[in-house]
Structure 1
């Protein structure tokens, strides 16, 4: 195994997936090592592969993140996938194999073009779009990447080439010995790229002399509904614990993509331009745990790709959620252990600099936030559900009052890629 002779602790890589991004910025002036390689052109086929990757990861993460806790949840499988993709660009051996298995890819020749196409597709979804009334509305959607490395460290040319070609970034130089300044630079970049929705992604005392590299992805979405909802006052909502709460609600009666299955209903609400949508999976009363337990990537793709429509009188609570978590234990339960173990990790494709090797992953941090109201969504996500391939057509109007726990997914329509996923078990919590 390469780079195995060292003294002291292994150098640490911090992997961070931020959620809610838009404007570009670097959080201060820093030097960057970047390849001159041009970004690769994207294909529709590669973007479809990215959809498969992110749906599979979304379901696997949901099963782990939702277990043992009945609270609200929001996370971005897309942001996490991109951050892990950048880590995979510098991995070999067991670390590479385990990341490939988690992401469901055959390797970097498939993974990097797919994630590149996904991010470029997101950029294409931004801008002015016409809503259902023919009025112009602004949709903001972007994914930004940055790597922050110990000043003076040397990085392998193929690694830098991959970052430039597929992730449109390089390596920024900071001094982790000045932990406060390094933290301020990274948090400043994240805040700039999240419209200040996430300002303290890196907590105090996160860095040490062992920290040599931080990989960051930030994903931002803000979009108005294709048809705005109406305020519906306060409606009853029965929480996961059975308590009945009065929650601010909104309503809309129109034609939606809609389907129903064994113990659940699902409705898809488009945003202006109909390139993005939020799908709600609403289990029947008392069936939330059973439906939640049946999620996988294939079924998630089926429910997100539904095109059958119905006239739906929809009422649902407004909600705002935030989840901040570390994913190291979650990834370990999903089979990714080698990157965290100095005896098995191997990031020689990233760097062979004797001053920093061997590199090993120390923490994986993730934070996501979402706000949903009558006008639209800022940084949102939701849904994973089992559905048959083609349920029976729906006759007549449907009344769907979301007065109980539900799952939500903010997703790209063309590729059925989930951007944000979560659940609401108590809209007032």
Structure 2
């Protein structure tokens, strides 16, 4: 996400303290400072992401799910640069982007993602974008330029009638997710004209790792009343904690503490679905402001690793993005003069949480188709022994990078 108007680059400033290169003074921590418009974009992303997560939970029968609100938002923002008329308006409303100009949206995403990727040397956070289009497809140069220069999108024309095109697209996905997600599409139809992709990869080690010798099989009580014996990690840690009559929550930091995993554990008489139903931007902001550093929290938590995939078209329609998927009404005149609509919106994710840290990845693909102890203080128990909700967030911006629910922890 590169070339952009200098005035708009002032949206987001990353404050980086200078570091003396000697053996005495360590590298100082980086921070992100958001101005009004960039903060508005992050709040819009979070509002959209929380609604998206709720609707996917309603539609999915999978016990464990995970989405990356940032991945879906970025992919749709790239497509938004080619939308017009009512299609553009519906995308703005669904993504909560009202009040932001396209230039402000692009500038804020460019700066935000650049800052997120360089925030912590001990956390790997990578974002990649691509546009693959069919040979001979008349695609407008301005659309390509915006996505190349602002979103760093790799752009390549392919012979969509050849099976090698699917392989090229899926190989890009595997490379950008470090082989955690192997593919995004199975085939291309003769009418498909473009595949737009976003991929996110995260790897963070816990600031304070779990001791593998402290992992033992312990019971995990599922909502349906059954019980599993699962490998469960344990440790004591000083970290942010708070509780309500719905859940108790902790923030477990990665690296230098800028990235965290927020774990929301339902209290007795409540369940993870109750937490999901309470998700809203207002509640989320209030919850994040309520955490207090607590000296000694006793954590037990299962290891878990799983993949999830979902088709986004139905959910996005429910959220108000209708015309983009309608071959008779979609307006993507900023991409091409041909009649074009989004025929597929696919999201795949992967997460691995263990004693060392967390590895997570997500890909969003849009297919465009043409018509035709001692004196220590008392410990606070936090036993994750039942279905729970989690999110991976960034401190300064409050951006939700990943969000999930675990009903059946497993670790192969």
Conserved? CA contact 2:2–2:110, under 8 Å: no
Conserved? CA contact 1:285–1:404, under 8 Å: no
Tell me what 2:189 maps to: 208
Q: 1:151 aligns with which of 130, 135, 159?
A: 135
Task: Report Cα offsets for 1:101-136 as digits up to 9, x if no partner.
Answer: 111112423322222222112211252xxxxxxxxx
Correspondence 1:111-122 to 2 at 5 A: 111-122=105-116
Ranked by relative contact order (alpha carbons within 8 Å, sequence separation 6 or more), the top structure is: 1
Tell me what 1:11 maps to: none
Conserved? CA contact 1:324–1:366, under 8 Å: yes
Tell me what 1:64 maps to: 55
Query: Unmatched 5+ residue regions in structure 1?
Result: 1-34, 128-137, 382-394
DSSP-derived class of the 1:113 partner:
helix
Q: 1:403 aligns with which of 361, 385, 388?
A: 385
Correspondence 1:16-31 to 2 at 5 A: none
DSSP-derived class of the 2:160 partner:
coil
TM-score by length of 1: 0.81
DSSP-derived class of the 1:320 partner:
strand
Query: Unmatched 5+ residue regions in structure 2?
Result: 13-33, 363-376
CA distance in 1, matches of 2:352, 2:289: 24
Equivalent residue pairs, number: 365
DSSP-derived class of the 2:393 partner:
strand
Conserved? CA contact 1:55–1:418, under 8 Å: yes
TM-score by length of 2: 0.84
**What is the CA RMSD across the aligned residues, in angstroms?**
2.1
Conserved? CA contact 2:78–2:147, under 8 Å: yes
Q: 2:165 aligns with which of 182, 190, 208?
A: 182
1:346 aligns with 2:331: yes
Tell me what 2:346 maps to: 365
CA distance in 1, matches of 2:45, 2:288: 13
Q: 1:124 aligns with which of 113, 118, 126?
A: 118
Question: Relative to structure 1, is the Cα distance of residues 244 and 362 closer, same or farther in structure 2, using a 3 angstrom cutoff?
Answer: same
- TM-superposed CA distance for 1:380, in Å, is 6.8
Question: Relative to structure 1, is the Cα distance of residues 306 and 183 closer, same or farther in structure 2, using a 3 angstrom cutoff?
Answer: farther
DSSP-derived class of the 2:262 partner:
strand
Tell me what 1:303 maps to: 287
Correspondence 1:318-357 to 2 at 5 A: 318-352=303-337, 357=338
Conserved? CA contact 1:58–1:297, under 8 Å: no
CA distance in 1, matches of 2:384, 2:188: 43
Tell me what 2:274 maps to: 290
DSSP-derived class of the 1:66 partner:
helix
